[in-house]
Amino acid sequence: MSQIAERYEAVRRRVRDAADCAGRDADDITIVAVAKTVGPPEVRAAIAAGVTDFGENRVQEFVAKRGLFPDVRWHFIGTLQSNKAQHVVGSAALIHSVDSLSLLERIDRIAGTRGVVQPVLLQVNISHEASKHGIDRSEVEEMLTASIELPNVRVKGLMTIAPLQRAEGVRWVFRDMRTLFESLGGMRFNGVELTELSMGMTNDFEVAIEEGATIVRIGRAIFGR
């Protein structure tokens, strides 16, 4: 067994343990292996270990790696500039980082020309960090309402990036996100069904799962330093 396979299995065990702690089913949680610092050999080893979902945060790397490994699901998790969206729309299983209405509209236009419906998440800066992208929680409802008029995008849920602190120190971030997620889900926007909550990385994914994450984005714990 490769080191990557061993690490991935350890991550899966930790996901199961966190899910059990929260009374949840681990099968409802998607592990996205963040491949932003690794090359094709590591991706190949991860696929052999059973990884089915990968994340990239740079457009050029996303395009290259998806081209090499088209049979797994590739998520775009980084900041997406409008002028580069055409390289991702229709290719990404899920775009995690929609942080403005103008980007959402741009994705809709591109998807329309390609005859696809692009699944996306709205990135929320729940912790109000100046260094982080994302919309304010007060803007989410407006974005969801606007998305109803955009037939070629499907908002599947929300994403956030917690401050880089000890896991327990950011539990409130994940809890606030879950509260927002659940309150929006209860509003039943016409045609919008929120099912995904992407939050938690190597440092804090267990706490994120305990607080309701359905997608965790894990790089170092799978690929090493």
Residue 27: exposure state from Cβ atoms within 10 A (0-12, 13-18, ≥19) = exposed
pLDDT of residue 132: 74
Q: Over the stretch 177-192, which tens digit does the pLDDT of each residue have? A: 999 999 998 777 777 8
Q: Over the stretch 106-145, which tens digit does the pLDDT of each residue have? A: 999 999 999 999 999 999 998 777 667 889 999 999 999 9
| Beta strand pairing call for 196-198 and 30-34 | unpaired
* Fold topology of 3-223: TIM Barrel (3.20.20)
Report angle CA 140, 146, 147 to the nearest 5 degrees: 90
Give residue 28's Cα distance to chain centre: 14
The residue extents of the domains of the chain are: 3-223
Mean pLDDT score, 57-71: 97
Q: Which residues contact 83 (CB under 8 A, 6 or more apart)?
A: none
**Alpha carbons 95 and 215: distance in angstroms, whole number:** 12
pLDDT of residue 63: 97
Mean pLDDT score, 66-86: 97
Q: Over the stretch 84-117, which tens digit does the pLDDT of each residue have? A: 999 999 999 999 999 999 999 999 999 999 999 9
Mean pLDDT score, 188-203: 89
pTM, two decimals, is 0.94
Determine the length of the chain. Answer: 225
Q: What value does the mean pLDDT of the chain take?
A: 94
pLDDT of residue 3: 96
